[in-house]
């Protein structure tokens, strides 16, 4: 009787996996685009800004004919948070090369939360910085900066350990863009922002005013496409992820002078930042949807909680930063 070799998630024998996963097969999971990088970034940022504020009423609204479903909620914590998903169906998985969305084979997920004591710029700067990534993404093996396009645009190579022992490690090759929404972009969403503010108990119960909107968008890229995984066994992810954040300044007292510190600056206890996190992905290979859903229902709330807690702690004793004008993220503080 011969011993059968263990098989990986693709159904191949483990020894064969090292030779079958090549840069060529990894590249098929990357988003394809004929646009140059800056044009692609502008297009994707515009799409994600619209997508983030589209159909946020999970109980009644739909996006692409699939309803948003609330799967986690914490309205009483320090950071009020609601997490949603869109149930994926096999029939909706056909690729669309004209869209910046990846060929989705798992549920798109969304988080909406309000963080006290930080600005939108600070929240996005922390999310954007490779140096902070491991403080809130617990399954990261490494993150490498392959190219610094400018101070607010990076090309990154990131590897992840698998939360399930039977599933191969993953990696992602993506650009990351840190931007401030301009007046035209803010005006295009100001109606829905007012509705959301009125529905947010953290904001509607106080006199608060929108100050600015910042965002970070990450998208798989074919730049440096010849890069190969170190072990030869990692499978390439295809992703579009966005974090869009709004700073609100709360007037706690009718006498506005009392809201400022002795130096005349805004106090952190006046700051509220609401963010919208959206993730659409193709994990590559083959993983049963029940396994994917079990993992993200457990891990996604923990990741969002770690992100908000570590960001608030990092900036707690720092001077408040609203960032600059003109759309340059300017990196971390």
Q: Specify whether the CB–CB gap between 76 and 214 falls below 8 A.
A: no
pLDDT in the model for residue 203: 67
Percent of the chain scoring above 70 in pLDDT: 66
Q: Specify whether the CB–CB gap between 237 and 283 falls below 8 A.
A: yes
pLDDT in the model for residue 185: 84
If residue 19 lies in a helix (H) or strand (E), which one and from where to where? Answer: helix 14-20
Q: Specify whether the CB–CB gap between 244 and 193 falls below 8 A.
A: no
Those residues with Cβ within 8 angstroms of residue 126's Cβ, 6 or more apart along the chain or in another chain: 132, 307, 310, 311, 314, 315, 332
CA gap 330, 333 in Å, rounded: 8
Q: Specify whether the CB–CB gap between 80 and 304 falls below 8 A.
A: no
Structure letter (DSSP) for residue 317? T
CA gap 24, 131 in Å, rounded: 30
Most confident region among 45-49, 243-247, 289-293 by mean pLDDT: 243-247
Q: pLDDT band for 262, please (50, 70, 90 cuts).
A: very low
Q: Domains along the chain?
A: 14-315 (3.30.530.20)
Those residues with Cβ within 8 angstroms of residue 60's Cβ, 6 or more apart along the chain or in another chain: none
Q: Specify whether the CB–CB gap between 225 and 300 falls below 8 A.
A: no
pLDDT in the model for residue 233: 78
Q: Considering only 281-290, 294-303, 311-320, which range has the smallest mean pLDDT?
A: 281-290
Average pLDDT, the chain: 76
Q: pLDDT band for 252, please (50, 70, 90 cuts).
A: low
Those residues with Cβ within 8 angstroms of residue 191's Cβ, 6 or more apart along the chain or in another chain: none
Most confident region among 74-78, 91-95, 274-278 by mean pLDDT: 274-278
* Residue bearing the bigger pLDDT, 61 or 76: 76
First and final C-alpha spacing in the chain: 63
164, pLDDT greater than 90: no
3-state secondary structure of 196: helix
Tens of pLDDT, residues 211-241:
999 999 999 987 655 565 545 678 888 999 9
- Average pLDDT in the 160-166 region? 75
Residue closest to 104 by CA, chosen among 117, 115, 93: 93
If residue 301 lies in a helix (H) or strand (E), which one and from where to where? Answer: helix 289-315
CA gap 236, 252 in Å, rounded: 49
Residue tagged 């700067």 (tokens): 125
Tens of pLDDT, residues 204-217:
656 778 899 999 99
Model-wide pTM > 0.75: yes
Q: Considering only 50-59, 224-233, 290-299, which range has the smallest mean pLDDT?
A: 224-233
User: Which residues are bridge partners to 240 per DSSP?
Assistant: 219, 280
E strands in 38-160:
62-63, 66-74, 81-86, 109-116, 140-150, 153-160
CA gap 241, 219 in Å, rounded: 6
């Amino acid at each position: 009787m011969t011993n059968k070799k263990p098989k990986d998630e693709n159904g191949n024998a483990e020894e064969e996996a090292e030779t079958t996963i090549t840069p060529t097969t990894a590249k098929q999971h990357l988003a394809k685009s004929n646009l140059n990088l800056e044009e692609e970034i502008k297009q994707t940022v515009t799409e994600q800004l619209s997508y983030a504020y589209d159909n946020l009423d999970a109980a009644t609204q739909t996006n692409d004919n699939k309803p948003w479903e609330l799967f986690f909620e914490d309205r009483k914590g320090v950071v009020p948070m609601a997490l949603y998903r869109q149930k994926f169906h096999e029939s909706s998985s056909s690729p669309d090369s004209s869209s910046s969305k990846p060929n989705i084979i798992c549920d798109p997920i969304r988080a909406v939360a309000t963080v006290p004591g930080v600005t939108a710029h600070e929240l996005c700067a922390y999310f954007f910085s490779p140096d902070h990534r491991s403080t809130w993404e617990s399954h990261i093996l490494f993150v490498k900066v392959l190219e610094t396009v400018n101070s607010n645009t990076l090309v990154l190579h990131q590897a992840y350990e698998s939360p399930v022992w039977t599933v191969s490690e993953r990696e992602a090759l993506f650009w990351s863009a840190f931007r401030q929404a301009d007046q035209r972009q803010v005006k295009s969403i100001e109606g829905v922002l007012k509705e959301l503010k009125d529905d947010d108990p953290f904001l509607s119960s106080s006199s608060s005013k929108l100050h600015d909107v910042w965002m970070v968008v990450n998208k798989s890229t074919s730049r440096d496409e010849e890069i190969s995984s170190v072990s030869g066994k990692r499978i390439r992810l295809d992703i579009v992820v966005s974090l869009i954040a709004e700073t609100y300044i709360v007037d706690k007292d009718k006498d506005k002078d009392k809201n400022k510190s002795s130096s005349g600056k805004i106090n952190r206890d006046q700051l509220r930042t609401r963010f919208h996190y959206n993730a659409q992905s193709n994990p590559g290979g083959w993983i049963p949807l029940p396994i994917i859903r079990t993992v993200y229902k457990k891990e996604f709330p923990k990741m969002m909680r770690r992100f908000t807690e570590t960001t608030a702690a990092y900036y707690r004793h720092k001077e408040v930063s609203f960032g600059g004008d003109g759309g340059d993220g300017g990196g971390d503080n």
